[in-house]
Structures are given as structure tokens and as C-alpha cells.
Amino acid sequence: MKRLSIKDIAKQANVSITTVSFILNGKAKEKAISTAVTDTVEKIIKESGYRPNEVARSLRTGNTKIIGLIVEDISNPFFASIARLIEGKAYKKGYKIIYASTDNDTKKAKDLIGMFRSRNVDAYIISPTPGIAEDVTRLLKDNKPILFFDRNLPDLNIPFVGTNHIKASYQAVESFIKRGKKNIAFVTIDLEVQQITERFDGYKKAIEDDNLTYQEHLVLKVPFNQQADETVSQIKKLLKKNKVDAILFSTNYLAISGLIAIKEINKVINEDFLVIAYDDRDVFKLHTPPISAIEQPLEAIAENIINLILSELTSKSEANNNQIILPAKLILR
């Protein structure tokens, strides 16, 4: 069945489509449409279940009320939680979210930006992959709000919301050192993206500031797309070949692989062997013993993202360059 259009409503009500459009957009008063007409038209709209075609509206007005969200992987609890919070807040303001996952693949990220652009999204919220600077620069010319989160591409002047990873990582390592640990391992992934390299920087800085020696063999960088069981066996090797009395994992999924490895080699987590994971999860709270974790302020991140975007969207304010860096919380268990 054909969907109703504004024409059908106009015909039924014996008015022009202009009148219907004004009523639809709440401009009945402003445009001095008589209440009689307004009432009949509204009645017909309600009874028929007519809803304006947003695609046509978008073509005409140039905006879509859709915000594009590009994340690394929506099934990562960190991104899923952020997406959920952003979605809820955007929804209240009449915006919808289209999202997509890049898998940290530059080609896919470029492609997604292109698709969002061709769909005329009103704004972009991006967790960028390396190599998309050029595409983003081109995007800037459209004059639509763009915001990076989680990680930054520092050469570009894009508003950013993220966590102070250096400090979080630093504090975690410092807490190890305070408890007398000297052989502190760091397990991370081999991505050159800001939020990961910063975690490494914090680790190195704490080691240095506290006059420990940096031991390269205690740093394990696993390939990003590696199967979890391969990661587990690499961590096992790390723990068997070296004296390690504390270990910091740079992501939640690495920590999970680590816990499996620790379990499989029957290593005991206690005062002699401490563990901290980046990004808190239920699994860490419930673990025996409970695992300490660095908790990013998800709610605050989402709040800042959506507020920045909405303020640019509504106030047509000049593109700003806010860099919002929020503190993480170290939860010792």
C-alpha cells in the first residue's frame, strides 16, 4: 500500500499542502491559520496515522536529525555503554544515532565517513583510526559538528572528549610500587592509537619517576586482531620466563586473557602478585580474588560528548576546539 503523503492530507481537508505543512510544523499560530482549519487537519492526521516523510524533509531542509557514531567495536562493553548513554541523551533531544564499527581498519573508517556524509548526518562522533586525517579535514568543509572521543588525532583541531590515560596508568603502576613491587609487567596491544600509547607512557613514566629500571622483556605487545587463545599463551610465556610481581593490562579483554593465563598456570593472585585491569567489568569484581581496575567515567564521557555536539548543533556556534580530558578512577580491591 502506498504511504500517505502531505498531498493526501491536504486533499482530504480541502486545504493546500502549505497549510498542512504549517500545522505539521507547529506554525499554525505564527502563520495565523484559523483554529477551525487547524483542528480538522490535526484530526485527519491523527486518524490516518500520517507521518511526514523525513527523507523528503531532510532533502529540503538539509538536516536529518541523525548523528553518526563511529566506534571501534560496538560489542566491546566500553563502546556499548557509551553508545547506550549517548543514544539515550540524543533521543531526548529528537536525534537518532546511526552507528558503525571500524575494527580499527582505516579503509573501513574512511568508507563509513563517506557513507555517513552521503546520508547527510547532522554531526559526527568518531573514535578515530589512524590514517583518516585527510578524510576528516575534507569533512570539516561541510561545516557540520565533528567530535572525537576515546582517542585523538592530535594534528587536527577537533573537539575531543577522553580520559587521562597517562595519569590513570601512572597511578596504577605507582600503586604497585608503593606496595613494594619492582618487576612490573605491562600487557598491551600493538596499535599506535593515542589511548593505548598513553597507557604505555604512564607505565614508563611511573617506572622512571620511581627509579626502577625499565625492563623491556616485561612489556608484551600483542597483535590487535589476534585470537584470544594465542594471547593467553603469550601471557603464560611471559609469566613463566620472567620474575613478575605485578601486572597491568591495558584493556579489559587483555585482562581477561591474562586471568585465564594466570589460572591455567596455577599462579596465585595475592600480595606477592598484583593485577590491575584497564576498564572495570563485572568479571573483575566477582573474580576470586577481586581484581583491581581502572574505571573510566563512562557517564561523564557520554554527557560531555552529547552536550558538546548538541550545543554546536543548536547554537550554530563556531566550531570550537574543546579538549575535555576526564580523570579515571583507580579501584583497588
Partner DNA sequence: CTGAAAGCGCTTACAG
Please state the closest distance from residue 112 (CB atom) to DNA, in A.
Answer: 19
Residue 91 makes contact with a second copy by CB under 8 A: yes
Q: Name the DSSP class of 319.
A: P
* From 59, 74, 115, 325, residue interacting with DNA (rule: CB under 7 A): 59
Residue type, 173: V
Residue 43 makes contact with a second copy by CB under 8 A: no
Nearer to a second copy (CB atom), residue 140 or residue 325: 140
Please state the closest distance from residue 83 (CB atom) to DNA, in A.
Answer: 29
Separation between Cα atoms, residue 301 and residue 274, nearest integer Å: 29
Quick note: the x/- pattern for a second copy over 117-136, rule CB under 8 A, is xxxx----------------
Residue 297 makes contact with DNA by CB under 7 A: no
Residue 6 makes contact with DNA by CB under 7 A: yes
Instruction: Count CB-CB contacts under 10 A for residue 100.
Output: 16
* From 18, 93, 115, 317, residue interacting with a second copy (rule: CB under 8 A): 115
Whether 149 and 171 have beta carbons less than 8 Å apart is answered as no
The three cell numbers of residue 96 are 537518532
Beta bridge partners of 185: 247
Whether 120 and 62 have beta carbons less than 8 Å apart is answered as yes
Strand order in the sheet with 246-249: 219-222, 184-189, 246-249, 274-278, 292-295, 329-331
* From 1, 26, 60, 286, residue interacting with DNA (rule: CB under 7 A): 60
Those residues with Cβ within 8 angstroms of residue 255's Cβ, 6 or more apart along the chain or in another chain:
249, 275, 277, 278, 284, 291, 293
Residue 74 makes contact with a second copy by CB under 8 A: yes
Residue 56 makes contact with DNA by CB under 7 A: yes
Residue 115 makes contact with DNA by CB under 7 A: no
User: Where does this chain touch a second copy (CB under 8 A) — which range of 116-124, 175-183, 205-213, 271-279?
Assistant: 116-124
Strands (E) located in the chain: 66-71, 96-101, 123-126, 146-149, 160-163, 184-189, 219-222, 246-249, 274-278, 292-295, 323-326, 329-331
Residue 219 makes contact with DNA by CB under 7 A: no
Residue 63 makes contact with DNA by CB under 7 A: no
How many residues touch DNA under the rule CB under 7 A: the total is 29
Residue 263 makes contact with a second copy by CB under 8 A: yes
Question: Which chain residues interact with DNA by CB under 7 A?
Answer: 2-7, 14-19, 21-22, 24-25, 31-34, 36-37, 52-53, 56-57, 59-61
